[in-house]
Structure formats: C-alpha cells, structure tokens
C-alpha cells in the first residue's frame, strides 16, 4: 500500500461505508495513510476487513447517521481509538433503492425520509465533529452531493432537492467554520457505477449518461478517488465552500 504523506497520521470518518462508493472512499483514504472510522446502518465490517487486508487501519460501527446519540458515540469511538478526527466524509444517503417516479407520485413520507437521511445526517455528523475540529483548529469536511442538482434530473425530486441542500449547507458551513481552520467542500459525482446505481438505473439511462459525457465511458467509483483525496487533504488547503463536479465533462459550471 502506497502512503500519501499528506494523509499519514490523519483520522477520517466515512459514513455509508459498508458498500458502494463509500467503501471506495474508505479504501482510498486508508491507502493514503489515514486511519479510517467506518459507519453505516448496515454492518461495515466487510469494508473494515478489506482495508485491513490491504494493510490499512480501520474500525467500523453500525450507526444510523440521522441519530444524534449514535453519531456522538461514533465520534467518541473515533477519538477513543485514534485520538482525533481530521476528516469527515458525509457519503451516506438514500439513493439506489429510491424508485424513480414523477414528483406528483412521491408521498410526503417518502419526501421526509429522503430529506432526513440525506440532509439531516450531514447536519448531525458535521455538528458532532465541529467542536473537536474547532478546538484543534483543523479539519476537513467533504459532503457528497450529485450532479442531478445541475442537470435537473427528473423522477427523483426528493433526492435532487436533498443534494441541492447539501451543496447549500456546504457553503454556509464553510462560512461558519473557516475561522476555526475547518474546510467544508462538496464532491458532486455524475452517475457512477456503484451497485446501487446499476440496479437503480435503466440500461437506457446508463447509456444516455455515457453519451452526455465528454469522456464517453462509464463513470467508475475509482474516478472519484483523486478528487476525494484532494478535498480530504491539505492539497486543497485554501479551498472551502466549493463544489467539485466529477462527471467526465457532462456538467460544465
């Protein structure tokens, strides 16, 4: 495992890391030398094992990131295990399992559930690490949004709204936390071939996404590694409140 000295000795919490892109982020951060604290509503042990098998350092906890008490325990476990939290990657979300439908068919309960997981969780986890990071006058928060916000993607209105909120929250949190040395940025991937995206998207939608790109190929979780490490490290030290779009040149902002 090659260590990026920028992340050696750092400690990163990754939410939604039991599978998919969150697992890729966890492996990448650990591969770059960070100790990773992985959480998910599902048992993240499979990712913990993968990190350790690759020579990295990880612990995992089943955590519902919408629950303040559970998130407080997660942060306490991270500090207990590694003494600090330097990086928070807010990746957990409801996405793949969401049925695509017209907004006129989305129920108010479905709306609320997506908003609670995709926005309240970002608020709760960030709120939980902010005092610790502020005390250390150092920290990097990476919120995961989506280019569905730029593209006006239809049939997922609650999801699109939640990710728009994540971008907006990133800016306001960046303004509040800058004076404490904490950077808050947003990573906005295009349609990325996680298992959730593969099962949740039609073949037509996947092909349409390829054709809309400047680089006409599928977007893979590995395409997000470089941008994630950039935002998680001091390589992006003077950057905050920004959204980095990674979609093979579909969206140009």
Active site (catalytic) residues: 159
Residues 103-142 that bind ligand NAD (CB under 6 A): 117, 121
One of 36, 65, 124, 130 touching ligand NAD (CB under 6 A): 65
8 Å CB contact between 65 and 121 = yes
**Only segment of 27-35, 80-88, 192-200, 229-237 that touches ligand NAD (CB under 6 A):** 192-200
Terminal CA-to-CA distance of the chain, rounded, Å? 35
* Count of other CB atoms within 10 angstroms of residue 81: 13
- Pairwise CA distance, residues 241 & 244, whole Å: 10
Q: Is 21 in the site for ligand NAD (CB under 6 A)?
A: yes
Assign 3-state DSSP to the chain and report helix, strand, coil percentages, each to 5: 50, 15, 35
How is residue 157 written in tokens? 């209105």
Closest distance to ligand NAD from the beta carbon of 246 (Å): 9
**Only segment of 29-37, 73-81, 92-100, 128-136 that touches ligand NAD (CB under 6 A):** 92-100
Closest distance to ligand NAD from the beta carbon of 13 (Å): 11
Q: Which is nearer to ligand NAD, 49 or 135 (CB)?
A: 49
Q: Which is nearer to ligand NAD, 40 or 86 (CB)?
A: 40
**Angle 53-55-56 from CA coordinates, rounded to 5°:** 100
């Amino acid at each position: 495992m090659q260590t990026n000295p920028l992340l050696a000795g750092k400690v990163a919490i990754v939410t939604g890391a039991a599978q998919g892109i969150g697992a890729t982020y966890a492996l990448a951060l650990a591969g770059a030398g960070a100790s990773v604290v992985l959480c998910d509503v599902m048992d993240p042990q499979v990712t913990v094992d993968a990190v350790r098998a690759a020579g990295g350092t990880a612990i995992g906890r089943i955590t519902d990131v919408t629950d303040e008490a559970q998130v407080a325990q997660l942060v306490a476990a991270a500090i207990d295990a590694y003494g600090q939290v330097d990086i928070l990657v807010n990746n957990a979300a409801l996405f793949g399992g969401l049925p695509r439908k017209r907004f006129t068919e989305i129920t108010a309960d479905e709306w609320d559930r997506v908003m609670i997981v995709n926005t309240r969780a970002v608020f709760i986890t960030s709120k939980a690490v902010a005092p610790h990071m502020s005390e250390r006058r150092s920290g990097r928060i990476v919120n995961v949004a989506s280019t569905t916000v730029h593209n006006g993607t239809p049939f997922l209105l609650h999801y699109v709204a939640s990710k728009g909120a994540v971008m907006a929250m990133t800016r306001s949190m960046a303004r509040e936390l800058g004076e404490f040395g904490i950077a808050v940025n947003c990573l906005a991937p295009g349609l990325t071939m996680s298992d959730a995206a593969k099962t949740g998207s039609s073949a037509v939608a996947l092909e349409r996404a390829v054709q809309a790109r400047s680089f006409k190929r599928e977007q893979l979780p590995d395409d997000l590694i470089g941008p994630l490490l950039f935002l998680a490290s001091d390589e992006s030290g003077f950057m905050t409140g920004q959204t980095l779009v990674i979609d093979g040149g579909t969206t140009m902002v």
